[in-house]
Structure 1
């Protein structure tokens, strides 16, 4: 699997040129056999160093090598995968806070989308009552 599409690479590079922003993650990578989830928000101009939220047992903001990530070999000929359905939706600071609170990115994802869906539904109900 290709880890980054051209569109994702372009968005990550653009975000990398705009440091000091609370970017929404562009892409999610994961280990299909266990620990290891990465939410990337930025890519350096050289196209090698990514920045975002990484979780290899404890979630933390930081940088990692795209080349190293793509070179990981897992059992049965598998490798690190890109989550094809991931949409991001929240700034990386929100992801980091939720991941620290829940203990990992996967639990944070469940929490954020459950709370986000409830917030959206509640906001829509309130708006409908006004009309």
Structure 2
């Protein structure tokens, strides 16, 4: 999936390196928001696995009322097709301003990602 700008990819990788192998990880703000324009699925991503750049970590919401912090495969997200062949898109105007934990807390209260 080639949905990120170079600077976003660099930041996701830097965050991944900072948290790799650590028990106490840093609580970064999301770098990228992906969403399915035909439904309620969205992802707020904070980092890429430095050993496998296909794996991202963040707040994942498949639109079923139970968002969770998880690792996801970017190639699997990229393979998803909606009605008329629509693909998952990057929110061009998203700016992650609060830590991921704050986004997760509000998502758990609301049953969906609010961003």
| TM-score, with structure 1 as normaliser | 0.78
| 1:8 equivalent in structure 2 | 8
Provide the C-alpha distance between the structure 2 equivalents of 1:41 and 1:96, rounded to a whole number of angstroms. 12
Structure (1/2) with the larger helix percentage: 1
The DSSP-based 3-state class of the residue aligned with 2:53 is: coil
Please, which of 34, 43, 58 is the counterpart of residue 38 of structure 1?
43
RMSD: 1.3
Structure (1/2) with the larger strand percentage: 2
Larger radius of gyration: 1
Higher relative contact order (CA 8 A, sep 6+): 2
After superposition, give the CA deviation of every residue in 1:25-62 in whole Å (9 maximum; x if it has no partner): 00000000112100000001121100000001211000
Provide the C-alpha distance between the structure 2 equivalents of 1:65 and 1:49, rounded to a whole number of angstroms. 5
| 2:27 equivalent in structure 1 | 22
| 1:96 equivalent in structure 2 | 104
User: After TM superposition, what 4+ stretches of structure 1 lie above 3 angstroms from structure 2?
Assistant: none
The DSSP-based 3-state class of the residue aligned with 1:63 is: strand
Which runs of no fewer than 5 residues in structure 1 stay unpaired? 110-131
After superposition, give the CA deviation of every residue in 1:65-88 in whole Å (9 maximum; x if it has no partner): 011111111111210000000001
| TM-score, with structure 2 as normaliser | 0.88
